[in-house]
Each structure stands twice: as C-alpha cells, then as structure tokens.
Structure 1
C-alpha cells in the first residue's frame, strides 16, 4: 500500500496521523472529519478509500512533512497528476512550481503517461508571447526570504549536470537531476527569501529545469521536454533575466524545428532575439540566429538561411566565454559550426556544409565530445552522399556510429538512421550493405 509507505517514512503513528488530519480538516472548514486510529488503520492496512476531501488533506499533510509536493496519486488515493498543467504558462508562480514538480516526480517514477505524452503544437506559441510581454514590462515583486548560499549550491550542481549531458548524452543522469530538483530545489522556491535571493533562486531553478528539458529532448522524449521547457521559461521570467529566457526559447525553437514545425521554430527564435534586446549575451544571440537558420533551411529558404548564418557568425565573433553565463558555455565552435553544417545540409548545399562540419568535428575531437562529434560526422557523411562520394560517406558514417555508441542520445541514433537511409539510395553496393549491417544492433535497440 502506497499510503502505508508514506506513513512509515513520515515517522508518524496512526494516532498522530489521525490528529493531523482532524486539525487540518478544521482549517479547511470540515469539522466533521474526525478519524481515529481504527479508521486510519483501515485506510493504511485494509485499503479503504477515504472519502472526499480526506485524500487531498492527506496529500497536503505529507507535502508539508517532506518539503515537496505529494499528490493523491502518489498516495494511491487519486488520479494521475495533471501533467498537461505543465503545458500552461501560468502567471502564478505557485502553479508553476506545482506543475514542474508534478512533471519531475512523474519523470523520476518513469510513469507511462508521461513518457508517452505527445508534443503539443498548440502549446508552442503562447508561452513565448507571454514571456516576451512580461519581460519587456516587468515590475519588481514583493520580497521573500532563503540564503544565497543555497542558490550557489544549486548553480554548482548545474555545472556538474551540464557536463554530464555534454559528454554522456541526455539519457545519462537526467533522472538523478530530476530527483535532485524535486527534493532540494523546487522546495526552496516555496520558502521565504529576499527579493535578490528570490530572483537568483528562480534563475538557478530555471537553468536546471531547462537542462531537464534539454536532456529529455536529446533522449527523444519530446512531450516531457516541452513541459519542462515551458515551466523553465516561466521561472526565467520570475528571475528577471531576459538572456536566460531567450536561451530557453532557443531550446524550444530547436525542438519545434526538429519535430517538423519550422515556422514555429523561427517565431520562437525571433521572440528570443527580441527579448535579448534588454541583455548582452553574444553567445545566446549567435545561437538564436543559428536556430533561425535551421528553421529557414527546413523551409527551403536559401537566402534567408545564408543571412541568418552570417548574422550568427557576426554575433559569435563577439563572444567572450569568460563573460558568458554558465548555461551558454556549450555554444562554442563545435556546437555552432555543426548547426551551420546541418542548415546547409538540409538545403542540399554540400559545398557549404562540409567546411563547417569539419571545423565542428575538429573542435569536438579536441574536447572529446562524442555526441557533437557524432552529429557533425553525420552532417559530413550526408554532404558526401549529396556529392555522390560513397566511399567518403561510408568512412564518415562509420565514425558517426562509433561515436554514437559512446553516449545515451536518441539524436545521435537518429543521425545514424538518417545516414543509413540516405546511403540506401546508392542501391546494392557493398559499402551500403556493410553500413546497414553495422547499424542493425544500434537501431534495433
């Protein structure tokens, strides 16, 4: 029984739980709810279902006891959490914390209703609009009270988990990060703190929530990723950090374009650039122009793509890594040149894609970044296929496969699949058959 497990963890006796339920029921205006020890024993040991509103009272009690949100579903006394609440960009910070906590707990528990959650196109545009309007016209909020040392600890953990994502892929470490957020970070948001600490804490929570979304995105769990990203955007607004919000919109743009919605991807990237007008992050600006280029390439707009890549190059030339926030550190030559290569690959311009891909590969090799190396080798392989050079394509494709085996990343696996499918156009050739054989185990898994 789930309720028994929660009661055991709380350290309360059955009699103590009965008293707590009665005391809270009085606060809720429900004086008739007066359970005794026998009644609690029937709930806990016999599986008797408490009548309304006792399940909600129990959930509230255990939430207070443990310092994070416990739902009636967690107690085995109600329906599953409404994870679609996380598709809503709420003006209420309290609802935002509850929504992202529900997603995080469902993520850690690997609940099927979350892993099967679809990407909702209808939820793409509204959050960026609300974030932009609120960011451009923000007023200071009343202060609260936690310690800046708590915020520093959260930010230190971000660096650790970001490194894990970069070098091991989004499928590695996300559940540990989600558990850390549920147990240590989101509860802090419910505490009291000064206005300075409040903003810093919301910013740190937004960074980590974005990383959860990005890891889910990289692992192909797009419904989960979307929910994290929307709630990260709301937390970024609360932090009054427009650069961080623009960064979240970049992630949302990347996802929308990847899932076949480049018009929405472009709009999200443009919204991010507008919000960035009140901040200074050349790295984020370069990323947003790059993601607009990816969207325009998917739309077949060669002129627009070239313009966006040129704008990205100008912004990237002004990047000073030491002056950029921690979350922008991944926006380097390995990443950004790889994305430019992908843009030209999508347009069928191998002559433009190849030098960018090689530049990305060289930097990724120096940094030992297997996922980025795999993605850029895939872009190089496709460029060779477009040039009808099967031997060179096979060599790059094999390297793509080798690097993909080092990380837990569905994007890397999909890159392997894409190269394999494109090579099939050469027909019954020994190199095609060889690569198809090499990929079977990876693609089947």
Structure 2
C-alpha cells in the first residue's frame, strides 16, 4: 500500500476537522506556544501544495492535527511519485468558479434548457472528430461560458442544477480537449479543473474520472510525466469499480500511457492488459454518451503507440496497419496522428523507404489541420528520419519539409 506525502496528509487531516488553512495555522501556533501570527495561512498552503516541507513545525502540526509525529515524519519522507493517488480535491480550482450568485435574477431553468446544452455538447464532440482545435476553440469557449452563466445566474431545482453541472463538466472535457489540441495547454488545464469542480459537485464520479484522465493525458504529453501518472491513477480510482467498462478501459489506457512515458514497460503492459479485459465486459449497459468512441480499435491504437514508444516495432506495425486499414478517412487529424506512429515504428524496424512514404501522408494530412498535436507529431517523425537522410526517399522528404 502506497503511503501519503506530508502535503496529502496535512490537507486530509485538516479537512477532516473542518478547519480552514488559517485555523490550522493558529492551532499549530497554539501547540508551539508562540504568537498566533508566527505561522500564516500562506505557509499552510505551501505545505499542502508540496512547495515546502514543514520540518521545524512538523511536531507542532502533528499535535494540532492529533496524529502521532512519527506518521507525519514518515509522510514527509515519502516522495510525490511514490505516494498513493491524491484525493480528487487536490485537482480542483483554488476558488469556486461555479458558486451561484447571491441574488439570482435570471430566468427559470428547466429540463428542456439542460437538454439543449447536452445536445450542443454532443455536437461539439462530433465536430471535434473532423475539425481541429485551432478552428473549434472559440465556439467551444462560447458554449462553456454560456452554460456556466446559466448555472450561476438562473434559478432551477436541485435536480435540474445537478443535470446542468453534469452538462458543464462534459462541456469542459471537450472544450479542454479542443484547447489542448490547439496548443493552449494552460487554458486547457483551467477548463479541465472547472469541469472537475462541476462533476465533483454533481457527484458524478465517472465524469470526474474522464476529466481528470484528460488532464493527466495532457500533463503526461507536455513533460510532467510523474504528475500525469498520479492524476491518471487518481482518475481510475475516482471512477471506481462501478464505472461503465468502457470508462474504466479508457482510464486504464491513460495509466498505461503515463507508465510508458515514464519508461515503466512492465506496468504499462499490465495496464493495457487490464484495459482490454475490462472492455470485454461492455454489454450495452447504461453509460454516458461521451464514451461512444471507445472501442477495440482505439485500444489497439494505444497498444501500438505503447509498443512504438518502447521500441517494439514488430508488434506496433501490424496493429497500426490493421486499424488504419479500416479507419474513417474523414477524421484527418486522428489519421495523421496514427500514421505518425506507424512512420516511427517503420523507422525503428529499419524500413526507411516505407517510413518516408508514410511520413509524406502525415505531412499532407497535417498541412491544413489547425492542430498542435499533429504539428508536434510531424516534428517527431522528421527528427526520427534524420538517421536515414542518405536514403533517397528520406532525403527528398526532409528537403521538401525544410
């Protein structure tokens, strides 16, 4: 059983007492027998974020929180990447962007309005299949702002309010995904955290897992591999065993990818195996609409990407060729991304001519797609082919790209 870090333990115990950070600071000063302003709320905030370790205050914090000092010392010695998945509350926004206004003067919101929002959310998902993030971000943000305004300013029943929060969470997931595709990673993270807050308030654990898993995926792909891994594990844990099979399969896939980027092949293969086994349990059960795209083909793509990243092209190439042979050509961005993995796997298999031909398709498909994902993958493919610059097909491709 993995332990907690000091940051996680302090926050968990403080929240268990119902204390604010300022209250914990005062109680710690009381335990130390010093002036109440010797330790401020900001310092507690830094401890809970892992920015600082309490050291000199550790024994007094333990006394205030009524926990043996040895437990807090053990937690202080636990590194973040060795810790148990954090509580989902660690990933919520600092403030509460969904707090209703004190005086609501907006119109009454009914079930029909929420259904309209849900239909627009699904419309955005379908649009994302064929339109890249750079072209879709502004409409997505307009929809998100409109939905948040409905919740904050309108009046509604508790049931309608919860349904609207779920719609906001789903809208934030697709809007965050679109922002990430456009290369707006900081904005995407804020959107994801807003969605996590909405889903958390609506007590929709499966949706929390989807949002947190999406944020984990972005973190993993932008260099914060350990942070992404902790988030991916937390997403899976938050969704729980009762989540629909396709949801758990998706979240396991993201855990597998984070392990892959961390160079942990055995753990990655184990998570992939669990994802495949979990997907076989899908049998038409009631599930959220956002899982419509999770199928065996998508899991095979992730499996092939893992094999490619781990330099196992003999396994990656057949899988990718099989999936690409039946892939919808209208989904240009995904087709370009999947072909990019095939190009790298072919280069690893010492097939530079085929790799160059595949890379040519990647560049052609990516040319008119406003996606930072495809742009980054194109750069990765070209860098991988530099090793084969003396091969005529590769030479011509690299010169044209330059």
Say yes or no: TM over 0.5.
yes
SS of alignment partner, residue 273 of structure 2: helix
Shift of 1:178: 1.2
Partner of 2:133: 170
C-alpha distance 159-128 of structure 1, shift in aligned 2 (>3 A): farther
Q: How many residues align?
A: 309
Contact 1:344 1:353 in 2 (8 A): yes
Partner of 2:24: none
Q: Equivalents in 1 of 2:139, 2:86: separation in Å?
A: 29
Q: Equivalents in 2 of 1:321, 1:429: separation in Å?
A: 50
- Farther off after superposition, 263-272 or 277-286: 277-286
Matches within 5 A, 1:258-297: 258-277=221-240, 279-297=242-260
Partner of 1:350: 313
Contact 1:262 1:299 in 2 (8 A): yes
SS of alignment partner, residue 243 of structure 2: coil
1:335 aligns with 2:293: no
Partner of 1:423: 385
Contact 1:334 1:361 in 2 (8 A): no
Specify every segment of 5 or more residues in structure 1 that has no aligned partner in the other structure, as ranges: 1-88, 90-121, 135-141, 441-445
Partner of 1:150: 113
1:383 aligns with 2:345: yes
2:87 to 95, 105, 129: 129
1:204 aligns with 2:183: no
C-alpha distance 168-176 of structure 1, shift in aligned 2 (>3 A): same
Q: Deviations over 1:151-207 (max 9, x none)?
A: 10000001111111111122222201212332x311111122111111100000111
Q: Equivalents in 1 of 2:303, 2:193: separation in Å?
A: 26
Q: Equivalents in 2 of 1:380, 1:310: separation in Å?
A: 21
Contact 2:166 2:199 in 1 (8 A): yes
SS of alignment partner, residue 378 of structure 1: helix
SS of alignment partner, residue 176 of structure 2: helix
Partner of 2:43: none
Shift of 1:427: 3.0
Q: Equivalents in 1 of 2:343, 2:303: separation in Å?
A: 15
Q: Deviations over 1:246-274 (max 9, x none)?
A: 00011011111101222222211111111
- Farther off after superposition, 172-181 or 246-255: 172-181
Q: Equivalents in 2 of 1:132, 1:328: separation in Å?
A: 25
Q: Equivalents in 1 of 2:279, 2:89: separation in Å?
A: 25
Contact 1:167 1:371 in 2 (8 A): yes
Normalising by structure 1, report the TM-score: 0.64
Partner of 2:143: 180
Normalising by structure 2, report the TM-score: 0.71
Q: Deviations over 1:62-92 (max 9, x none)?
A: xxxxxxxxxxxxxxxxxxxxxxxxxxx9xxx
